[in-house]
Copies of this chain bind each other. A is one copy, B any other.
Amino acid sequence: MAIEAELARMLEGVRAHGPLVHCITNYVTVESCANAVLAIGASPIMTDEAEDVEDIVSICGALDLNIGTLNARTIESMRIAGRKATEAGTPIVLDPVGAGASRLRTATASGLLDDLGISVVRGNMSEVKALAGASTSTKGVDANPLDAVTEDTLAEAAAFACDFARRAGCVVAITGAIDVVADEARAFAVFNGSPLQGRITGAGCMLSAVCGAYAADHRDDTLVATLAAVVHMGIAGQVASERMGEKDGTGSFHTYLMDALSTLDGAAMRDRAFVREIARG
């Protein structure tokens, strides 16, 4: 099956099965994350209390750990939920928001990656470099412009991603102007998406939660499931962008992005996916 058809099949699977995704995520973009998960046909549950997370993760198909507004209490809850998910073989997505911007963020994300059975890391290049131990400086929660992936640096980015995936034992999705999705053996570039996604908060957080839904529904192929999530979000960004009118700005873009997440179907996914496997050097 061509990769585009595979991606479309996965979107249809998520919509058909509606997996439950347990999110322990930041309070900034949590409503958007819940709505994004609902938009793609899955169901979100947000809970971060130590006493509650084991029961909830037990009924869920995936766990999304996002350190955007981490604190001592929720880091502990992430560990408890993460251990339970690891034991059960439930896919875990890690979103290392702001790794590289503070010691606590870098250490927390690294610790979760080391100690838990993480299936997918989804971050920007600066965050993933910070996790890889490379010297980098994250611009707050945004990628350092020096870390932008371009056509010229694509082979290098793919090699970095595969190496990271191999060492971390997971799939990695490095998102930016061009997205790179890789496991230890293969890497894909995704050319879908809109620059406007960087003008609103939460596009990355939403994607991580969406990755959880795709990973829950397609446990046999986490690499392509993650690719499908990235493409779903990217096409939604393009559809939203095309809809922008003269007076529209970032508020309308946010609404249109959610609209497009919710209305995208398999046929449009297949037609608009702009994905290329990156040859290894």
Contact = CB atoms under 8 A, between A and B. Distances in A.
Nearest to A70: B49
A56 B250 contact: no
A243 B247 contact: yes
A142 B199 contact: no
A31 B251 contact: no
22 contacts: A20-B139, A26-B46, A31-B31, A34-B202, A35-B201, A43-B142, A45-B101, A48-B69, A49-B72, A52-B70, A52-B71, A52-B104, A55-B104, A56-B101, A249-B259, A251-B255, A251-B257, A251-B258, A252-B255, A252-B258, A252-B259, A254-B255
Copies of this protein in the assembly total 3
A262 interface: yes
Interface of A: 20, 26-32, 34-35, 38-39, 43-49, 51-52, 55-56, 59-60, 68-73, 98, 101-105, 139-142, 199-202, 243, 247-252, 254-263
Contact of A140 (B20, B48, B104): B20
B263 A139 contact: no
A49 B104 contact: yes
A69 B30 CA distance: 11
B251 A262 contact: yes
A38 B140 CA distance: 13
A254 B201 contact: no
A34 B140 CA distance: 13
Contact of A104 (B51, B70, B104, B254): B51
Contact of A262 (B35, B51, B250): B250
Given A35-B200, A243-B247, A252-B258, 12 more contacts: A26-B46, A31-B201, A35-B201, A38-B250, A39-B251, A43-B141, A47-B70, A51-B104, A55-B101, A55-B103, A251-B256, A251-B258
B48 A101 contact: no
Nearest to A45: B140
A117 B86 CA distance: 42
B259 A101 contact: no
Nearest to A27: B27
Contacts of A43: 139-142
Contacts of A51: 72, 104
Contacts of A140: 20, 43-45, 56, 59-60
